[in-house]
Amino acid sequence: MKPPASIPEIYGLMAEFHQPADIVDAAERAHIEGYRRMDAYSPYPIEALTEALHLHHSRLPLLVLVGGVIGCLAGYGLQWWTSVIAYPLNIGGKPLNSWPAFIPPAFETTILFAALTAVLGMLALNGLPEPYHPVFNVPSFALASRDTFFLCIEATDPRFDAQSTRRFLESLPGVSGVSEVEH
């Protein structure tokens, strides 16, 4: 089955490395070369790789802050509404809005909402769960979760060219193979 003309024939070209320093170096060189639509794959987080790819700051901290604030307001609001409006009870002569006593549950809901936002936000920003992705079509990609590092330049990159990009990837130090990534 042939994909429509507007979609490139392949997803991209993927180079394979065995040393963490090589993948960082490769990502830096690819960025200098002008490639932007690319991603690196590693078996563990490498901060230098994030820098080499010039990734933007994660928006997650802001989301988590918002989640925490909503959690705090929701937790306190629930206690205030049930204790003052819905079911006012005189407990030891304390005021209906006994705010010091409402702090522990409001604190817990703050943490709960912020933590849920951190997890769900991380998954959402990463587009997970994602049952299918073209990179898994490369047979050796199974080693990306073991000890091998990959750099994939995507075919949608304006500078992508099947021949010259392949030559560039093959010229990178430490590269042990370049393969086509099918859709």
Partner 1 sequence: MDESRPRGLSADALPAPAADGALIEPGHTFGSVTDKISSIVLQRRTPLGWVVGFGIGFALLQLLLYAVANLLFVGIGVWGPNQPVGWGFDIINFVWWIGIGHAGTLISAILLLLRQAWRTSINRFAEAMTLFAVSCAAFYPVFHTGRPWLAVYWLFPYPNTMGVWPNFRSPLIWDVFAVSTYATVSALFWFIGLIPDLATLRDRATSRPWKVVYGMLAMGWRGSAKHWHNYETAYLLLAGLATPLVISVHTVVSFDFATGVVPGWHATIFPPYFVAGAIYAGFAMVLTLAIPLRKFYGLDGFITLTHLENMAKVMLATGLVVGYGYMIEAFMAWYSANNYEQFMIWNRMTGPYWYMYWALILCNVVMINTLWLKSLRTNVAYLFFISLVVSVGMWLERYVIIVTSLHRDFLPSSWGMYAGTKFDYAAFVGTIGLFITLLFLFLRFLPAISIFEMRTILPGAEMKERLEDGHP
Nearer to partner 1, 51 or 161 (CB): 51
Residues of this chain, 121-140, that bind partner 1 according to CB under 8 A: 121-123, 125-126, 128-133, 135-136
1 near partner 1, rule: CB under 8 A: no
CB of 85: closest distance to partner 1 in angstroms? Answer: 10
Distance between CA 129 and CA 151 in Å, rounded?
A: 22
Distance between CA 42 and CA 1 in Å, rounded?
A: 32
Nearer to partner 1, 1 or 85 (CB): 85
108 near partner 1, rule: CB under 8 A: yes
148 near 43, Cβ under 8 Å?
yes
State which of residues 118, 137, 162, 166 lies at the interface with partner 1 (CB under 8 A): 118
72 near 102, Cβ under 8 Å?
no
> Which region among 4-12, 89-97, 154-162, 175-183 touches partner 1 (by CB under 8 A)?
89-97
First to last CA, the chain: 11
Distance between CA 134 and CA 156 in Å, rounded?
A: 13
CB of 176: closest distance to partner 1 in angstroms? Answer: 14
Nearer to partner 1, 8 or 77 (CB): 77
Site string for partner 1, 43-82 (x = CB under 8 A): xxxxxxxxx-x-x-xx-xx--x---x------x--xx--x
Task: Enumerate helices (H) and strands (E) in the chain, giving the number of each.
Answer: 5, 4
Angle between helices 60-80 and 99-125 (to 10 degrees): 150
